[in-house]
Amino acid sequence: MIKLYNSLSHKKEAFEPIQASAVSMYSCGPTVYDKIHIGNLRAFITADLLQRTLRHIEGMAVKWVMNITDIDDKIINRLERDYPGVDPETARAELTKKYTDVFLRDIGAVGINAQDIQIVSAVDSIAAMQQLITELYQKNIAYIADGSVYFSIERYQDAGQVYGQLVNLEYDAEARVTDDQDQKEGVADFALWKAQKPGEPAWEFMLDGQKLPGRPGWHIECSAMSSVALGLPFDIHTGGIDLKFPHHENEIAQSGGKLANYFVHNEF
C-alpha cells in the first residue's frame, strides 16, 4: 500500500481510502487571470503523478476534481488594467475564458490528460458558496460588516474547534494573514463574501434579511466546490506548500474542522 506524507499528521502514513478501491481527490486549480509558470505546473504534475499511481499501480478508481478560480481579487485587478470601460461581467468572462483555455493547453503540453479531471468553475458554484456562508452565519461563526461577511477565528475556536492543523501559527501567521478589508472583528478573520465596489462584477446575496451584492472570498470557493463534488470528508487534498496557510487552513475551518483525510503538499 502506498504511503503519503500527510500535512495534517506531519508524518508519512499508509493511505487508506474512505471507500475500498476508490479515491476522492481535490486539487486547488489556477486563478485564470494570466498564464501560469512552470512552478505552478509542478503542483498539477505532482497531483497527476499521484492519481496515476493510485489508478494504475494501486488499481483504484480515482475521482479527481480541480477548480478553476474565475472570480477573485487578482482577476478584478486585471480587469481594471486591461478592460477599462467594459461591462465588468463581460470582461470577466472574456478574460477567464482566455486563460482557462491557455491552462488546459499547458497541462496537456506536460502530459496531463484533462479527461482524467473533473473541472469545476467558481462562478458556476456561487449558489453553493452562498449556502455554505449562510450555514456559517447561522452557526454564529460568520458575521456581517459593511456589506461583507467574515469568518470569525475567535468564534470558531470558542466553539471548540482547532485553528492551525496544518502549520505552526506562532511561526507563520503574522507573515501570511492579509486581507484587503478593514471592518473585521479580529486580525485573523477573513472574508467569506466581499461587498461590491464600483465597476466590479457582482452577484445578489440575501443574508439575514440584508441585501449583500458582491462576490465570494477566495477561500470559500474551494470549500464549497470540493464538498459538493466529493462530499465530506474526502480522501486527498493536494496543492503547493504556499497554500497550507491561510488557504487550506481556512478551507478546513469553513468545513467545520474536517475536510480531507490526507493533505498532500508539493514543495516549490
What pLDDT, on a 0 to 100 scale, did the predictor assign at position 184?
Answer: 85
| Cβ partners under 8 Å of residue 131, min gap 6 | 224
Give the burial class of 77: count Cβ atoms within 10 A of its Cβ; 0-12 exposed, 13-18 middle, 19 or more buried: exposed
Q: Which phi-psi region, left, alpha or beta, contains residue 154 (left: φ > 0; alpha: ψ -120 to 50)?
A: alpha
For the chain, give the mean pLDDT. Answer: 94
Q: Write the DSSP symbol of residue 209.
A: T
- Strand runs labelled E in 148-241: 148-151, 190-195, 206-207, 210-211, 214-216, 234-240
Phi, psi (5° rounding) for residue 34? -165, 180
- Please tell me the class of the 22-266 domain: alpha beta
Span 120-130, pLDDT tens digits: 999 999 999 99
- Strand runs labelled E in the chain: 3-6, 11-14, 22-27, 61-68, 117-121, 142-145, 148-151, 190-195, 206-207, 210-211, 214-216, 234-240, 260-266
Q: How far is CA 239 from CA 51, 68, 154, 229, 247, in A?
A: 13, 13, 27, 17, 10
Is 175 a residue whose pLDDT tops 90? no
Span 143-162, pLDDT tens digits: 999 999 999 999 999 999 99
Alpha-carbon 262 to chain mean position: 16
**Residue 97, number of CB atoms within 10 A of its CB:** 12
| Cβ partners under 8 Å of residue 139, min gap 6 | 159
Span 185-238, pLDDT tens digits: 899 999 999 999 999 999 999 999 999 999 999 999 999 999 999 999 999 999
Residue type, 53: T
Give the burial class of 162: count Cβ atoms within 10 A of its Cβ; 0-12 exposed, 13-18 middle, 19 or more buried: exposed
What pLDDT, on a 0 to 100 scale, did the predictor assign at position 170?
Answer: 65
Average pLDDT of span 89-101: 98
No. of H helices and E strands in the chain?
Answer: 8, 13
| Cβ partners under 8 Å of residue 36, min gap 6 | 30, 103, 106
Residue type, 147: G
Q: Which phi-psi region, left, alpha or beta, contains residue 153 (left: φ > 0; alpha: ψ -120 to 50)?
A: alpha
Q: Which phi-psi region, left, alpha or beta, contains residue 16 (left: φ > 0; alpha: ψ -120 to 50)?
A: beta
238: cell is 493536494
Task: Name the pTM for this structure.
Answer: 0.93
Is 179 a residue whose pLDDT tops 60? no
